[in-house]
Structure 1
Amino acid sequence: MDRSQQNTHAKLMTRDIHRLRPSPTEANCFSLGCISWVSRVETVGTIVSRDMAEKFLKFSIDDGTGCVTCIMWLNQLTSPYFSRFDSSTILLHSRTARRQARDIRIGAVARVRGRVGLYRGGMQITATNVVIERDPNAEILHWLECVRLSRNCYRIQS
């Protein structure tokens, strides 16, 4: 995968997310197999924990190969990071995040997209999009797509 694809969400299983290694040359990028510019990932799994605070929702996804912690920030209205955006964009982000947070329940199958990073020595996804899957086949279809991609595109050794 070349640098032009660094903003693409790599579809990965949790075990592969935990196998990502920090890039020696690029900040906030990771590598695995021949993927050398991973900064965003997509995974699908069952929500196994949920911890709501005022500023964030922290939850864990289990896809059968392991668990990964996800965090969704809910403080767009008061965060200095979002102050550079116009107020309508901030309000939209805030409403979307709060709506998605309400849907995140233990036992639900969810598709999580976001930025991957190290936090306290472990991999974590800062979620930008969480969709509760209604299709009972969504998780297995994600697994199959990950296997295909790991063999044909990412060249990840099992």
Structure 2
Amino acid sequence: MGPMIPEDPGIYFYNLHPIYKVDVLGTVVYKRERDDFFCYGVDDGTGVINCLCWKNDLMKEEADPDKSGGKLSDGAQGGFNPVAELKKLKQAQQSRCRLEIGELLRVRGPVKTSRQQREIMASTYYKVNDPVMAFQIAWMMEVPQLYRQCYDKPLQLQPNATSDSAVSSLCKATNIIKDFFKQRSVTRFRPYDVQDLLQPLISSQPQTASADQEPVAGPSACQQLRQLLKEALQILQDDGMVYRKVKSQDEVYYVTAQDKDLLIAVKDIIREDSKREKYAEKGCHILHILSAVRQHYSLNVSKAALELVLKSLECNSDIVSTSDNHYTVF
């Protein structure tokens, strides 16, 4: 977990990086069980933290052995028995969520403070079966890289556009378009839908020619506006925030985070392919998912756009990341 300084309720800071949710892998060192939740003490090597893991409805239900008794199971003669399969599902769920001291737990969720102690309110948690410590070794190699590349570096905040003239017009343009997406909940748009939003950036540019000089030949204001818009849209595409489902003369851009069809397509691919023996253990690699999305949904989905979709699905607990860019359903 590392040293985190509390500031606002629910927000912590590590080297000025705001921390709201965490992802922890550690050993269970103590446990308590209540009717509605488990409380596990998890040691990840840097300390012990309480993890409040709520039970779902399936965990709360008590299996009734009389309902899955002999006659129904025997009568199936190897056929599909929904009662028996439900019992197996309950048992599998319980085995993944009921951990004993010494077992390995992965837990993800927001950090809260209760009775002056930090604890994780788990949004996702499960037991990790790692007999040869392969998962723990991969985790120990991945986490230091995250710290070196991100958390141990000073947080670089963008300067205030109203007080610092160093912010480029291109940066302002991309921010204006992003704000437009958020305010209007835009799912798709065409360039002329956002072009007028950038007009003030062209109008506010200083004139290079003085009053007693001849005007210098150069691009017109309209040409500058179109060029600025083109470059801003290219940046948004490179970041994966927008993409073109079909490249045609009619330029239609889709906002990645708002494209429900794309989110459903990615989720369905992961759910179906995770059933295959090849991906049953580690899940689907991001490049496999990208290839499947391009084959079944759109050739123009970039890896950056897919990463945003995967992040959104993971935040909603629709999928779970394992390691090395692998994803599976929970």
TM range (shorter): 0.5 to 0.7
- What does residue 23 of structure 1 align with? 7
Residue pairs, 1:66-145, within 5 angstroms: 66-74=47-55, 99=94, 100-102=96-98, 104-135=99-130, 136-145=133-142
Say whether 1:154 aligns with 2:147: no
Give the number of equivalent residue pairs: 118
Counterpart CA distance in 2 for 1:23 and 1:76 is 35
User: Cα gap change, 1:131/1:74 in structure 2, threshold over 3 Å: closer, same or farther?
Assistant: closer
Structure having the larger proportion of residues in helix? 2
TM value normalised by structure 1: 0.64
- What does residue 29 of structure 2 align with? 48
Counterpart CA distance in 1 for 2:153 and 2:116 is 22
- How big is the alpha-carbon RMSD for the aligned residues of Structure 1 and Structure 2? 2.4
Q: How big is the shift at 1:58?
A: 0.6
**Would you say the 8 A contact 2:39–2:50 is kept in 1?**
yes
Q: For each residue in 1:66-104, what CA deviation from the matched residue of structure 2 results, as whole angstroms up to 9, or x when unmatched?
A: 111111123779xxxxxxxxxxxxxxxxx8xx74433x2
Q: How big is the shift at 1:153?
A: 0.6
Q: How big is the shift at 1:39?
A: 1.1
Say whether 1:33 aligns with 2:30: no
Counterpart CA distance in 2 for 1:150 and 1:128 is 23
Greater gyration radius: 2
**Would you say the 8 A contact 1:109–1:139 is kept in 2?**
no
**Would you say the 8 A contact 2:97–2:127 is kept in 1?**
no
User: Cα gap change, 1:148/1:31 in structure 2, threshold over 3 Å: closer, same or farther?
Assistant: same
**Would you say the 8 A contact 1:43–1:142 is kept in 2?**
no
**Would you say the 8 A contact 1:59–1:71 is kept in 2?**
yes
Could you say what secondary structure the match of 1:141 adopts? helix
**Would you say the 8 A contact 1:55–1:73 is kept in 2?**
yes
User: Cα gap change, 1:115/1:76 in structure 2, threshold over 3 Å: closer, same or farther?
Assistant: farther
Residue 149 of structure 1 aligns with an amino acid whose one-letter code is L
User: Cα gap change, 1:156/1:45 in structure 2, threshold over 3 Å: closer, same or farther?
Assistant: farther
User: Cα gap change, 1:138/1:33 in structure 2, threshold over 3 Å: closer, same or farther?
Assistant: same
Q: For each residue in 1:10-46, what CA deviation from the matched residue of structure 2 results, as whole angstroms up to 9, or x when unmatched?
A: xxxx3x1xx212234xx4211101412x111001111
Counterpart CA distance in 2 for 1:33 and 1:156 is 8
Listed as ranges, the gaps of 5+ residues in structure 1 are: 1-13, 78-94
User: Cα gap change, 1:54/1:156 in structure 2, threshold over 3 Å: closer, same or farther?
Assistant: farther
Could you say what secondary structure the match of 1:49 adopts? strand
Q: How big is the shift at 1:156?
A: 6.3
**Would you say the 8 A contact 2:32–2:39 is kept in 1?**
yes
User: Cα gap change, 1:121/1:76 in structure 2, threshold over 3 Å: closer, same or farther?
Assistant: farther
Give runs of ≥4 in structure 1 deviating > 4 Å: none
Q: How big is the shift at 1:132?
A: 1.5
Listed as ranges, the gaps of 5+ residues in structure 2 are: 59-89, 155-330
Could you say what secondary structure the match of 2:102 adopts? coil
- What does residue 9 of structure 1 align with? none
